[in-house]
Amino acid sequence: MNIASLFQAVASFAWLVFIGLIAMLVVRTSRRQPTRGVTTGVIVVLVFAILATTLGAGLVFIEPYETGVVVSILSQGGMRAEPMQSGLHWIVPFVERVERYPTSIQTFTMARTEAEGETMGVLTVEARTSDGQRIWVDSSVIYQIEPSVVTTIHKEWQHRYQEDLILPQARGIIRDAVSQYRVDEVLSSKRFDMANQITQELEEVMLANGLTLVDFVLRDITFTEEYAQSIEQKQIAEQQALQAKFVVESKKQEAEQARQVAQGAADAVVIAAKGAAEARILQAQAEAKANDLIAASLAGKPELLTWLYINKLAPSIQVMLLPSDAPFLFPLPDVITQ
């Protein structure tokens, strides 16, 4: 409790005591009892009550989160030019009064349900998009009163600045902004652009009337039931199309994988055949070269050829064949012995 409230409480108590003493004075007078002490008490309490009431009416304490406008019949224009800042102040009792305005951050919500807004009643903004779709926009205006121009606010709007300034201006600006976009843009790609446009225009209007816009929050956008169902059906169709596309891509990948495996096997067979052919060619070339060398070494040496032939015979052979022009057959052991 501040000192101004304390004086007001004391004054109220003093007036109660004064009324009690007056009642006692009447009773004593009707009974013809002495009233001198009571009369003195009545006078003292009356003076104290008037003094406390005067102090209580003249002292004003402004809280740190508010500012005050002094309404006075003594000032030109009906109020003091300078607002009261936080602290203890003095005004002329019974001639001046103080209208208090909060300087803390305030939030004015416009929503489809009463529980979400500060003001009772449905305050959501109904608007139409550029393609004729009807939508409802729930939003919050977060603002602050500029203390230096609070006298202008009191003169123009008093305490009706939310209902008479913020609400109609916000509704008009939101409707104008929504009308510039299609419903699909409001739903997705242009939502932030629309919110920024509303914020800039609302900030200019509020600043011209002594209010500072802290933030504009686009809370929710609601569509008609028919459009909501069409969006849901479209999303289901898109999901089904994506699923079908995924299946097709999966089959393509499986077919490509099988093709790659078959191609790899075929390439392996070709490489193996090519390697075998090259190896056979090399072997044939080697054999031909060896035969050439053997032929060259045997040229003009028939006895050597016969000797090699004999060495290749099996051990069980006991006779030897001679050329066709030789008329004799010799026992093989004798030939070997000779």
For the domain 106-223, what is the CATH code? 3.30.479.30
Residue of 325 and 9 predicted with greater confidence: 9
Once rounded to an integer, what is the mean pLDDT over residues 112-117?
62
Is it the case that residue 317 has pLDDT exceeding 70? Answer: no
Residue 337: per-residue pLDDT: 46
SS3 assignment, position 116:
helix
What are the tens digits of pLDDT across the range 59-105?
Answer: 888 999 999 999 988 888 888 888 999 888 888 888 889 999 999 99
Under 8 Å CB-to-CB from 183, ≥6 apart: which residues? Answer: 129, 131, 133, 135, 223, 227
In Å, what is the CA distance from 191 to each residue of 39, 186, 219, 221? Answer: 78, 5, 11, 10
What are the tens digits of pLDDT across the range 255-292?
Answer: 888 888 888 888 888 888 888 888 888 888 888 887 77
Rounded to whole angstroms, how far apart are CA atoms 78 and 137? 41
Residue matched to tokens 């190896």: 279
Q: Amino acid letter at 296?
A: A
Angle at 30 between CA 25 and CA 33, to 5 degrees: 70
Region(s) of the chain under CATH 3.30.479.30: 106-223
Q: Tokens in use for 186?
A: 């409001």
Q: Within 10 Å of residue 29's Cβ, how many Cβ atoms? A: 13
Quote the radius of gyration of the chain (alpha carbons, Å): 57
Residue of 279 and 194 predicted with greater confidence: 194
Residue matched to tokens 């070997």: 336
Rounded to whole angstroms, how far apart are CA atoms 104 and 143? 9
Residue 145: per-residue pLDDT: 92
Contact (CB, 8 A) for 72 and 92: yes
Assessment of whether the complete model's pTM goes beyond 0.75 = no
Give CA 267 to chain center in angstroms. 54
Once rounded to an integer, what is the mean pLDDT over residues 233-261?
80
Share of residues in the chain with pLDDT > 90 (%): 22
Q: Residue 335's pLDDT band (boundaries 50, 70, 90)?
A: very low
